[in-house]
Amino acid sequence: VVLLNAGMSRELGLDWEGLTETELAEVLSGRRLPPGADPIAQAYAGHQFGGFSLLGDGRAILLGEQVTPTGQRYDLQWKGSGPTPYSRRGDGRAALGPMLREYLISEAMHALRVPTTRSLAVLTTGDLVFREGPLPGALLIRVAASHLRVGTFQLLLAQQDNDTLRQLADYTIARHDPDLVDHEAKHLEFLRRVISRQARLIAQWQQLGFVHGVMNTDNMALSGETIDYGPCAFLDRYDPATVFSSIDHGGRYAYGNQPSIGLWNLSRFAETLLPLLDPVQERAIELATDALKQYAPQFEQALLTGFRRKMGLQTEHPDDPQLVQGLLDAMQESRADLTNTFAGLADPDNWDPDWGQHPPLQGWQTRWIARLEREGSNRQKAQDRLRQANPQIIPRNERVEEALQAAVSTGDLGPVERLLAALADPYTPSALHAPYRNSSPSGSCYRTFCGT
């Protein structure tokens, strides 16, 4: 057992007290299954970079569900568990680096208050997996509200199995939106809920500079959680064209494209529900289209609300969209760091020594201070609000890689553990943050790979 999430264990109601280290490893690895467990690999389909494919869990096994002491239901999934019927000639295994990476990033996203799958544990297997060379094998236990995806529904649409599609939709509604079970238009309302969840989620990504990297339809969870941390990364310098994934040659999933890709994916989901929305196809299309039209205004509202909060504003003003866009434009022109720029609003002496070198940022700052004064506030009065809304640190790409390299090459988990400790409370100023505050020297030249 390399990492064990004690907080997640408590939340799930899992008590490891009394187990030896060997017994704990056997339970967490799935070698000792709970009574009645019947692990499965899930089938699904999906548009990958725009092309449709039949897919499935190629190296993951769903052990089952855990109901927490508060009554919340979670999936427990083993990643790197070995070959499945959907492995497509792959070995079904996972390497230690990518599994540690998902643990780090998913737990950081949780601390950043973004809906996300969680990580319960990482274990080494004792085996080698062969990628660019031999690497230590590992397992990750992923915790999710469910693993139901847009691609899950796309599979049944492709199979033209409307009866099973209805069963799946009704099950998903009962699991994620139980208040809709008896609604007379439950499938339409369910579509609207999924649209709203994704609009809010992607707005949060944009505020933090999170670049998912592989927004295929099979990686859009109907729960509204961020799922699949393979080629993801965070912006340092603000640039909407930023792409980190080594396989995204056309920039389809660039940071600035994420909102429109969200709508594209939701349109594919709406297509799967057409048989359930209305027996007359033209009417079903009209209902779905009207629902999809709500995505853009909901996303824009969530984004504006979030940026108001990040600017310490408590009231609304018609000029606020221009104020937000003005800062984004100034950051891009000045090649400013997204996270540090916002953190510097609360602590200018500590965070933005270069503001004077960037006239666009200086000009924007004057407008922002005037906006605070318009609502009877100022920078000092807004300081606590600003600190609560703007993280001091994020998982800096190269700091993450340095920690993973130490774990994989020398077995030293210290850098991973220190980074996890710093990321656990990103909003409260702490000495733990100091090594992770600065931008990566390579900036947008950083590249990620689909290791998870």
Same domain, 160 and 98: no
Same domain, 138 and 154: no
d(CA 172, CA 149): 10
Same domain, 10 and 82: yes
Same domain, 166 and 207: yes
Predicted pLDDT of residue 205: 99
Residue 27 lies in a domain: yes
Q: Would you say residue 404 has pLDDT above 80? A: yes
**Burial (CB count <10 Å: 0-12, 13-18, 19+), residue 17:** exposed
d(CA 66, CA 141): 13
pTM for this model (two decimals): 0.95
Q: From its phi and psi, is residue 127 left (phi > 0), alpha (psi between -120 and 50) or beta?
A: beta
Same domain, 75 and 207: no
Same domain, 174 and 51: no
Beta strands across the sheet bearing 118-130? 3-4, 118-130, 134-144, 73-79, 60-67
CA angle (337 as vertex; 261, 315 as ends), nearest 5 = 75
Same domain, 284 and 166: yes
- Domain span at 207: 150-227+247-297
Q: Would you say residue 390 has pLDDT above 60? A: yes
In this structure, are residues 126 and 22 in contact, taking their beta carbons and an 8 Å threshold?
A: no
Q: Would you say residue 352 has pLDDT above 70? A: no
Q: How confident is the model at residue 441 (pLDDT cuts 50, 70, 90)?
A: low
Query: What average pLDDT score do residues 35-43 get?
Result: 92
Same domain, 122 and 181: no
Residue 48 lies in a domain: yes
Q: Would you say residue 443 has pLDDT above 60? A: no
Predicted pLDDT of residue 450: 56
Same domain, 253 and 278: yes
In this structure, are residues 291 and 258 in contact, taking their beta carbons and an 8 Å threshold?
A: no
Q: How many domains does the chain have?
A: 2
Q: CA 27, 30, 36, 41: dihedral to nearest 10 degrees?
A: 150
Smallest Cα–Cα separation from 218: which of 154, 137, 173?
154
Length of the chain as a residue count: 452
Predicted pLDDT of residue 446: 66
Same domain, 164 and 71: no
**Per residue in 206-237, pLDDT tens?**
999 999 999 999 999 999 999 999 899 999 99
Active centre residues (catalytic):
218
Q: How confident is the model at residue 356 (pLDDT cuts 50, 70, 90)?
A: low
Query: What average pLDDT score do residues 48-72 get?
Result: 95
Predicted pLDDT of residue 439: 77
Same domain, 61 and 183: no
Same domain, 180 and 138: no
**Per residue in 131-146, pLDDT tens?**
888 999 999 999 999 9
